[in-house]
C-alpha cells in the first residue's frame, strides 16, 4: 500500500546498475515493505542494501527512475523482504525492481568453489545435492543425484525412496505443464466461440491433472452459466467417454439450486410493494428500493436511489484465510466461520454517487487525478469520509448502510480469486499497472464473484469496517467476526490497479491509517440482512 513518507530521496549512480546479477524484481508490496524474487539461493543476505527503481511508460517510450533505497530484512530461499525508504512525494506502489550495491553470488557457484574432490563424493553427498536441487525445483537434477547415490550404495533405502518419489514428482510436473497447455486451448476456443471444443479441452485437462481442479472449476462455472445447453449436450454425447471423470465434473459444477431463477424481476414501488415479499431480508428493504430482481448468478439485487445496487449474500459457513504454504502470516490459520446474511455493494462507490453526497453536505469533492469521474470508483477518501457517506445514505433511506467486515468481504469473493482458481488476466481485473489508472466500475464482468459482485480484485483497495490486527485469525470468533475493538489502522482488501497478482488474491489482507487518502483506495457499501 502507498504510505506517506518523510525521508529524503537519495540518488545513486554506479556501474553495478548494468550488471544483471545485482537486479531483482519487486513481486509484492505492503506499505514500505517490498517482496523481491531473489533469495538466499541467489546470494541475497540480510543487511544488503541498494536502490529501489520504478518503470514508467509515456508516448516517447519506457524509462526508469530511482525512487528510494532499501535494506534486506528477511530472506527465504527464493524470495526476500526488504524495507524501503521512498523519496518524498513518491509512491512505494510504483516500485518495479531493486538494484543491489554488490554482485549477488548464487549458492550453486559458491558450492562449486567449495565442492569436494569428485573421488570423495559418496552416496551421502549425492543425497544432499539431490535435496538441494529438489528444494530449488530442479527435479531432474535431483533425480540424477538420487540415482547416483543408489548406484554407489544399491541397498540404501533412503536413496531408493527418494528416487521413487522424485520420479512421481517429475511425472506430476510434466502433467502440470500439459494441463496448462490444455487450459490455454480451452480459453482460445472459448474466445473464438468454439464452445464444444473449449469444453472438451477442459474435461481432458481435468482427466490429465486432477490436482488442477480449482482452475477447472472457474472455467466450468462460466460454461455452465453462459453455455448450459452446449455443456449438457457434450455431457450427453460423450457420457461413455466421460464415465471415469463424471463424478469429478459433477462435483465442480455449481449447485443447480443456486443457478435456477426463481421469480422474475420484481419492480418495487414504495411501501405498498412491501407485502410482495415473504423473505424478511427482502421485506426490510422493499419500501426503500426502486427495484428488486434476481441477477445472472441467481442472487437477489436491490437497486436504491443514486444508482446504488446491493447484492444479497445468504447466511452460511466458509473457510476464511489461506491454505498452508500460501499467503502471508496474517492470513493464517485458515478456519471456518459462520456469517449471517448481508447485502454488499455490487460495485465500489462511484464519483457520481460520492459527488452527490459532497454537493448536498457542502463537502469538498475528492480529487480524481484527471482520470475522470462519473462511473469510476471514488478515490482519495479516508475511512471517515467513507463512514460519513454511509451515515448520509442512512439518513436518506432509513437503512443502516455501513462498510463491510473483512469476513463478509471475503465470503463475497470466496475463491482464490473472485472468479475462481485461475490466475488474473487483463480481461478479469484491473491490476498490475495495466492501465496506470482506475477503470469504470463493472468493466470486468468476467471477473464477477460467485454472487455476481464486481471489481473485488484490483481497481482500488477497499476500506473495511474492521480495525486491522495481523494476529486476529489466531483467536477470531467463529460467528460473524468483526475484528478487534480498537487499533491503529483499518483493514483494506482487494488490491488495486497498481498491484500484482499476489496482492489481488481474495485472502490477502492489508491495512491503512484511517486518515489516508490515496489514488489506489476507495470503498463499497454493506447492509445487514436481517
pLDDT in tens, 293-305: 999 888 999 999 8
222-231, 283-292, 351-360: range with lowest mean pLDDT:
222-231
Evaluate whether the domain defined by 271-528 bears CATH number 3.30.365.10: no
The span from the CA of 258 to the CA of 225, in Å, is: 11
More confident position, 270 or 7? 270
Rounded Cα gap, residues 387 and 402, in angstroms: 7
- What tens digit of pLDDT does each residue of 27-39 get? 999 989 999 999 9
Which pLDDT value is given to residue 355?
95
**Tens digits of residue pLDDT in 181-206:** 888 888 888 777 788 888 998 998 88
> Tell me, what's the pLDDT at 512?
95
Query: With bands split at pLDDT 50, 70 and 90, how would you rate the model's confidence at 503?
Result: very high
Residues 6+ apart with CB under 8 A from 272: none
Which residue, among 370, 375, 367, has the nearest Cα to 351 in the 3D structure?
375
pLDDT for the residue numbered 275: 40
Distance CA 157, CA 127 (A): 12
pLDDT at 368: 93
Contact 408, 313 (CB under 8 A): yes
Q: Please tell me the CATH superfamily of domain 15-108, with its number.
A: FlgT, C-terminal domain (2.40.10.410)
Per-residue pLDDT at 349: 97
Name the segment(s) of the chain with CATH classification 3.90.1580.10. 271-528
Question: Is a pLDDT exceeding 80 seen at residue 6?
Answer: no
pLDDT for res 404: 97
Q: In 49-156, where does DSSP find H-type helix?
A: 107-114, 123-135, 139-152
Domain with CATH 2.40.10.410 in the chain: 15-108
**pLDDT over 50 at 359, yes or no:** yes
Q: What is the pLDDT of residue 516?
A: 94
Q: Per-residue DSSP letters for 405-462? A: PHHHHHHHT-SSBTTBSSPP-TTT-B-TTSSSS---TT--GGG--TTS----SBSSEE
Cross-strand pairs, 61 = 58
Cell of 267: 419492480
Statement: residue 48 has pLDDT above 80: yes
Of residues 170 and 481, the one with the higher pLDDT is 481
Amino acid at each position: 500500500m502507498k504510505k506517506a513518507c518523510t525521508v529524503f530521496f537519495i540518488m545513486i549512480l554506479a556501474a553495478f546498475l548494468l550488471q544483471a546479477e545485482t537486479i531483482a524484481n519487486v513481486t509484492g508490496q505492503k506499505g514500505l515493505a517490498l517482496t523481491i524474487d531473489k533469495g538466499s539461493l541467489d546470494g541475497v543476505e540480510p543487511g544488503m542494501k541498494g536502490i529501489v527503481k520504478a518503470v514508467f511508460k509515456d508516448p516517447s517510450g519506457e524509462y526508469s527512475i530511482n525512487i528510494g533505497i532499501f535494506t534486506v530484512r528477511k530472506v527465504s530461499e527464493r524470495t526476500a523482504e526488504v524495507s524501503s525508504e521512498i523519496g518524498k512525494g513518491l509512491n512505494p506502489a510504483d516500485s518495479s525492481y531493486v538494484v543491489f550495491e554488490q554482485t549477488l553470488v548464487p549458492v550453486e557457484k559458491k558450492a562449486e568453489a567449495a565442492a569436494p574432490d569428485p573421488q570423495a563424493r559418496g552416496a551421502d553427498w549425492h543425497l544432499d545435492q539431490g535435496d538441494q536441487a529438489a528444494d530449488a525445483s530442479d527435479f531432474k537434477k535431483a533425480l540424477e543425484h538420487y540415482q547416483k547415490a543408489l548406484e554407489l550404495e544399491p541397498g540404501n533405502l533412503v536413496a531408493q525412496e527418494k528416487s521413487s518419489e522424485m520420479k512421481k514428482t517429475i511425472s506430476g510436473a510434466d502433467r502440470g505443464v500439459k494441463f496448462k497447455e490444455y487450459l490455454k486451448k480451452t480459453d482460445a476456443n472459448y474466445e473464438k466461440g468454439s464452445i464444444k471444443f473449449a469444453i472438451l479441452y477442459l474435461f481432458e485437462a481435468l482427466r490429465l491433472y486432477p490436482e488442477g481442479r480449482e482452475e477447472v472449476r472457474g472455467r466450468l462455472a462460466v460454461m455452465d452459466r453462459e453455455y448450459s445447453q452446449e455443456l449438457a449436450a457434450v455431457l450427453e454425447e460423450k457420457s461413455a467417454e466421460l464415465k471415469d471423470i463424471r463424478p469429478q465434473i459433477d462435483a465442480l459444477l455449481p449447485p443447480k439450486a443456486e443457478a435456477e431463477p426463481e421469480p422474475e424481476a420484481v419492480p418495487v414501488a414504495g411501501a405498498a410493494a412491501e407485502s410482495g415479499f415473504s423473505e424478511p431480508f427482502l421485506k426490510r428493504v422493499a419500501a426503500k428500493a426502486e427495484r428488486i430482481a434476481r441477477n445472472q448468478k441467481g442472487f437477489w439485487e436491490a437497486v436504491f436511489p443514486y444508482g446504488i445496487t446491493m447484492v444479497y449474500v445468504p447466511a452460511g459457513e466458509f473457510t476464511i484465510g489461506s491454505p498452508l504454504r500460501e499467503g502471508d502470516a496474517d492470513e493464517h490459520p485458515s478456519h471456518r466461520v459462520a456469517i449471517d446474511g448481508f447485502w454488499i455493494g455490487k460495485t465500489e462507490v462511484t464519483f457520481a454517487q460520492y459527488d452527490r453526497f459532497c454537493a448536498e453536505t457542502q463537502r469538498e469533492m475528492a480529487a480524481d487525478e484527471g482520470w475522470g469521474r462519473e462511473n469510476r470508483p471514488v478515490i482519495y477518501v479516508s475511512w471517515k469520509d467513507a463512514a460519513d457517506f454511509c451515515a448520509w445514505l442512512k439518513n436518506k433511506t432509513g437503512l443502516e448502510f455501513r462498510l463491510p467486515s473483512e469476513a463478509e468481504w471475503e465470503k463475497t469473493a470466496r475463491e482464490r480469486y473472485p472468479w475462481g482458481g485461475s490466475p488474473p488476466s487483463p480481461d478479469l481485473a484491473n491490476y498490475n499497472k495495466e492501465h496506470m489508472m482506475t477503470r469504470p466500475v463493472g468493466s470486468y464482468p468476467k471477473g464477477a464473484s460467485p454472487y455476481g459482485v464486481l471489481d473485488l480484485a484490483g481497481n482500488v483497495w477497499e476500506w473495511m469496517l474492521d480495525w486491522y490486527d495481523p494476529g486476529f485469525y489466531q483467536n477470531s470468533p467463529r460467528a460473524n467476526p468483526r475484528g478487534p475493538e480498537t487499533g491503529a489502522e483499518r483493514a483494506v482488501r482487494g488490491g488495486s490497479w497498481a498491484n500484482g497478482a499476489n496482492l489481488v488474491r481474495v485472502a490477502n489482507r492489508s491495512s491503512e491509517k484511517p486518515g489516508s487518502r490515496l489514488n489506489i483506495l476507495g470503498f463499497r457499501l454493506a447492509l445487514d440482512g436481517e
